[in-house]
Structure 1
């Protein structure tokens, strides 16, 4: 009898070990979520309890699969999700080697997919340390940061690494607008690598189609619009014409803003260039020579044609800010009891200060806790002939307390591009979930004759997000994002 017990125990142990080995083999795979939000359940079926939600591009360890349901490791415990909403990827294999970049402008991404955000760029010949490999992507370490790059653009120690290009610095640019996007390519459609602030200065290496290639402090190179920066060049002889971008451009006796003004020029006027030095063009003027600042002219006729009818940035723009709700209309209420009406007013007042610093003329539909009708809010924008109207709100959906993120609503189809610019800038600045842009039938934007949007700046029904959006950190980020969106909209 004792011998039978021992044999039985050994058999159970062996079977258990086989099962554990099988599970370890299964966990060599991972799943990536391809829709959102997706419910995580306690068991394999829709009748099981929902224990949480997962979102687009989230990645989890796959434990096993039962029919159309996949078991994952979720917050330290087991959870089940439907297989229709995931894609399976190979687990990353670890290795540690030195490699060299084979191309210029190689994107570093936050995850091993082309849909992930871009963290920066690498140029040909750059040396990196590899960490793991997954589905033709390699995770690298570079300048104390980690990210993913496409494997095909790496060259390992087995070959001769490419020689890094030694670019020549051609001068320095200084940012002339409160917030400026640094982009991966010399156009407005490319990805934003970083944002820099007014007064920041950077070396630049080349100028292409009205854009400067600059180098950021982390060594990453990107592109900025030349009409939003001032430039200091190495002294050089230069031939050709420059075109004035603005009416009333000062023409000076010497290469300094302290120098005497000898005349003014009108937008579109052209002058022959004699010399260029330290951010100034010496031009032929009335039979002699004079100077004009290079940040208010262009040598590229295409740039002039694009900008001739547009004013850069927020200077003299009229912006109407509408703090949602007020008075007896408290709006939604956070889990801690914060009324939406107070938070929208705080955000609006902060935004007013920021926009005025950028040169805008700002009007609030209310500047205290008072009740204002919806028609009066839209009417103010129409009376002021506002260049833009922004109605500020915070969202709520108690039925789904995990709902989160920022969304932008437009009513008129011609305002969709404006909405997309604003949405993109706010997400970039805050890092919150992107709920994208949608058409919304709201009175304040429907009855508005101006460019009008309604912004939902976070969820007060989500306990975690409600706490965060009230912090000074978040308020500064969202104000920076809204300001950047407006500047981008009016500058390009």
Structure 2
């Protein structure tokens, strides 16, 4: 009898457990979502059968609490919680990063002179400035071979290999014992102190007007401080940062004789600092083309009168210096720089315009000394001692002179909505390479780097997943639909029982998708030099079940051990993401 009861109990237990749905996946407390459409129903539970308890509107942002299947539980910020379908929202990146890896300890220095700071993570992006050896930057994000940094002239990307990290991540929330160099004074009543550099961060406490805090770093609009023995963040505009004597000394050196010297701003926007160093308070900004008297120069910083009666410091490598009343270009900024001709028969002209006379035709590989930079043209010295001009966007530059990039991709991609779909994720590993590489991890690496490249060009970019999460095929398709995507790119890596097979294949389903596939495929093959396996018809759910311009890319074979080593390298990730980026830009020129 007891044995029968035990059997009956175990059967009931199995039936009970079998009826329980999988537990929701808890989300990070700092995660949030943004509503992608108007009049979206928020429901009592994770399904369409549950009662609607509220309506929300496009653009509203809410904290993400849990995920369960195709549904997300959110905090409605009015004491209520509810569920929304994943395909109706966009997940937001954490405040300390975008699609790339965040850097918690964010100080670094340049290890070489003339380190170019670019608008996006790639050698093809416009150079917005340069750093000299030893110059400090705040590191905001890491993505493959690139670092996103905060500089005196704004945010940009630099090659990771030329930055030395000054600090490493601590294991605890406590700051290591380091010299305290900056003091900040609170300039507003009741300033919130948060645990992350974001208005979504939890409030740890408040500071009052006049209170002094130790400033650890500044990250764009947010300042990192010590608060109750731990690190915390406050909004930068309400902290007046004062430099200690050690930093005052760094700008007290002798300056050049600058009587009668003026400077014209060459950057689109150039920040004005209270003192001549990157850590000092930003007090304003000036714009390209504005002209100022230069009163002092110390350590690559120039003191200007940026408003009547108001003085500040700007990075002097973004000033084109001239004698007052004259037109002499700034030769110091391009000193020791050379340009190299990229194509045979390149025209060198008498003046900085295509309307002027051609004085010489140069061949690929010829190198010339740079005399000055006028608009987007380099004035160079020829072998016979005379000078000529060459368009900056058709040569490569070595030295401190900025690389000129002709607008192209940015114009074509700006405001385009592009959904990037890193294949697989969560319990779906995809294929596994001969060396153990999981497809789900590699597709996310490629998508994240491509995400930042597209973002830097002004595109509206959405990732169907930005972490190791399982997303159903139907959710991926619905994301493209509800975001009204101009392009949907599904990223994959391939496998075959024949381990000798290698190369890249691009797929489309509907005829109208083929031109996009051809454009992206051609550019990707050109960048990676991989075996071209062609553009083909493919019966894949994510491109078949959407009426959007959708393609699926197989970017290499993990079953081929040599190709697995190649595609997992940082160099390949750079070239393949650049190829997709260029293919999209070319397609949108049509």
TM-score by length of 2: 0.34
Specify which structure has the higher proportion of helix: 1
